[in-house]
């Protein structure tokens, strides 16, 4: 698999970090977008990727830093010369996500175009198959319905934790992951009921025996820390895997 971090940021404006979106290329060529933060179109272009080649979009939850780019993406497929889409776009998410998609489609009749959007309603704990991939969801702990996603394809596993405080369901979903894509919102001095800290993210990786941990959704308090300060937060855990604080456009092949 190949993962490209399109947006490692949050809702907090930042000159070099876009809100959450990530591109996942499976070994059979299927292309997944994991969340659609504002600016994901621009980031796809910067990454040298063609938005028209995206087959599937998973949306973890309806916070604007994860879904704010959806209308622009659909508009580009509809109106932008050279980007007109013909193939079906598959969008996956909770009932809330389905409602948001319906809203996006409803506010402009001009979005009704030459391609179909197929919405796939996901419930918590659902396992489903798309092509060669086996996927599974779990509910995260966040103020609105939020789902984490496990993607297993050709023997490799990616876990996208989305937003959320640590919880057993997400840790269980992460077991044996080759790459764990988790939020590290805050330093450990800033505990939260709806997000997780750096050390809590590393604890998930440790408990799940994940091979590599890629940390995103970095709030300013984490960005203000030096690399050594960030690493000192979790050094006593002795996690044997690699921990990476990702910048936008970071690529991982695993």
Is 22 one of the binding residues for Zn ion (CB under 5 A)? no
Q: How far is the CB of 164 from Zn ion (least distance, A)?
A: 8
Residue 128 has phi, psi (to 5 degrees) of -150, 160
Q: How far is the CB of 143 from Zn ion (least distance, A)?
A: 7
Among 65, 152, 233, 248, binds Zn ion (CB under 5 A): 65
The residue annotated as part of the active site, out of 14, 28, 55, 65, is 65
Residues 6+ apart with CB under 8 A from 224: none
Give the side-chain half-sphere CA count within 13 A for 200: 24
The token duo for 224 is: 């203000």
Where does this chain touch Zn ion (CB under 5 A) — which range of 60-68, 85-93, 129-137, 208-216?
60-68
- Specify the 3-state DSSP secondary structure of 129: strand
**Alpha-carbon torsion (77, 251, 229, 167), positive or negative:** positive
Where does this chain touch Zn ion (CB under 5 A) — which range of 61-69, 126-134, 174-182, 227-235?
61-69
Is 35 one of the binding residues for Zn ion (CB under 5 A)? no
Indicate the residue among 10 and 90 with the shorter CB distance to Zn ion.
10
Among 17, 56, 63, 136, binds Zn ion (CB under 5 A): 63
Whole-angstrom distance, CA of residue 39 vs CA of residue 65: 10
Indicate the residue among 56 and 66 with the shorter CB distance to Zn ion.
66
Q: Give, in order, the Cα–Cα distances in Å from 28 to each of 91, 111, 202.
A: 19, 30, 30
Is 163 one of the binding residues for Zn ion (CB under 5 A)? yes
The token duo for 130 is: 């798309």
**Residues lying near Zn ion in the complex (CB under 5 A):** 63, 65, 163
């Amino acid at each position: 698999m190949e993962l490209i971090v399109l947006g490692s940021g949050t809702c907090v404006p930042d000159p070099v970090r876009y809100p959450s979106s990530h591109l996942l290329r499976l070994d059979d060529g299927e292309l997944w977008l994991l969340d659609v933060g504002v600016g994901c179109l621009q980031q796809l272009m910067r990454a040298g990727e063609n938005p028209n080649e995206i087959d599937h979009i998973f949306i973890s939850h309806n916070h604007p830093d994860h879904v704010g780019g959806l209308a622009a993406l659909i508009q580009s497929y509809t109106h932008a010369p050279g980007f007109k889409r013909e193939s079906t776009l598959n969008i996956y998410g909770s009932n809330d996500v389905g409602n948001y998609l319906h809203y996006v489609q409803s506010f402009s009749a001009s979005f009704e175009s030459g391609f179909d959007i197929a919405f796939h309603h996901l419930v918590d704990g659902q396992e489903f198959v798309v092509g060669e991939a086996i996927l599974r969801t779990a509910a995260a702990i966040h103020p609105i319905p939020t789902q984490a996603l496990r993607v297993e394809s050709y023997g490799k596993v990616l876990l996208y934790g989305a937003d959320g405080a640590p919880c057993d369901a997400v840790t269980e979903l992460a077991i044996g992951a080759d790459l764990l894509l988790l939020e590290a919102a805050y330093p450990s001095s800033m505990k939260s009921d709806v997000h997780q800290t750096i050390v809590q993210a590393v604890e998930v990786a440790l408990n799940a025996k994940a091979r590599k941990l890629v940390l995103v959704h970095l709030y300013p308090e984490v960005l203000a820390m030096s690399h050594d300060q960030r690493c000192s937060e979790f050094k006593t855990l002795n996690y044997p895997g690699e921990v990476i604080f990702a910048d936008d456009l970071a690529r991982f092949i695993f």
